[in-house]
Amino acid sequence: MTSQVSSPKTVLITGASRGIGLLTAKSLLAEGYHVFAGMRAPDTRNRKAASELQELANTNRGKLTILDLDVASDESVERAVATALAYGPLDALVNNAGVMPVGITEAFTMTQIKDLFEVNVYGVARTARAVLPAMRQNGSGIIINLSSAAGRLSLPFFGIYCSSKWAMESYVETLNIELEGSGVEAVIVQPSAHRTDLVATSPAPNDTDRATAYGTMSEGGDRMLGMFQSAFDQNAEINDAQNVADAIKHLIEQDGPRPVRTVVGEDMGVDGINQAVAPFQNGLIDQLKTVYAPA
């Protein structure tokens, strides 16, 4: 039997038109949440996803507000968050929007690298900055940020993607430290490979001359993507993206403090890295507190 939340929570999701964002929106609507589903071009390119969510909201207790939201635009983010806050306090922000380029690292142009960071890193900072003043004033809230196993690993052909996730994780963890005592938390979800369209829509490097200079190595990115797709085709439960949506929902409903990092899916050694690093990170912060937050 599905349990309904006693008091409907309000959640803003970026990148809600597909993949984990869409699944999370559906899961929360089914539980009676007020979901602010952020996506680009909801009246045109993403009309199907917007209609799908609206139909679900019409048949459930949940409430849906579609937001035209581009995390790469200051104006778009500020407008979307203002719309959401007009309904009242925001309980959670789910930073899901992201891009995963795959290929020879040198062959990605500076424009491609900047565009990637605009979404995967600066987009997270934009939305966090937009919601944090109201959350801090309200004394509660959680910002859940979708990273990846790549946020702890360095993988060939995923160089610029990994670096963007490493940067995002450092930003979020620092936010969480600075938010201590405010009632607001910033946490990270680290999924492994899950069945979404992220693999099928991975941008390739634009500098083909530099890519071909690597010879057969330049084919490695496509081979890696093929490996992931083959795993998805087996329909293993561990690759089900719904598991990530369920983990996000659990974090929203969990009483704090939440774990800074939550691994979902095939471990790939990431949980071990998290556990190994945590004592050193936490120990250093405890020492630094004697300087920046003396008792």
Q: Which residues are catalytic?
A: 17, 147, 161, 165
Strands 141-146 and 184-191 turn out to be parallel
- Report the distance separating Cα 62 and Cα 27, nearest Å: 10
Residue the block writes with tokens 């979902």: 264
- Report the distance separating Cα 78 and Cα 69, nearest Å: 9
- Given a contact cutoff of 8 angstroms between Cβ atoms, the answer to whether 156 and 220 are in contact is yes
- Report the distance separating Cα 242 and Cα 236, nearest Å: 12
Q: For residue 273, how far is the Cα from the chain centroid?
A: 20
35, HSE (Cβ side, Cα atoms, 13 Å)? 35
Edge to edge, the sheet with strand 10-13 lists 63-68, 34-39, 10-13, 92-95, 141-146, 184-191, 261-264
Phi, then psi, of 182 in degrees rounded to 5: -90, -15
Closest C-alpha to 97, from 164, 174, 175: 164
Closest C-alpha to 64, from 43, 36, 95, 89: 36
What is the residue type of 88? G
- Report the distance separating Cα 224 and Cα 158, nearest Å: 10
What is the three-class DSSP state of 147?
A: coil
Tokens coding 224: 């890696």
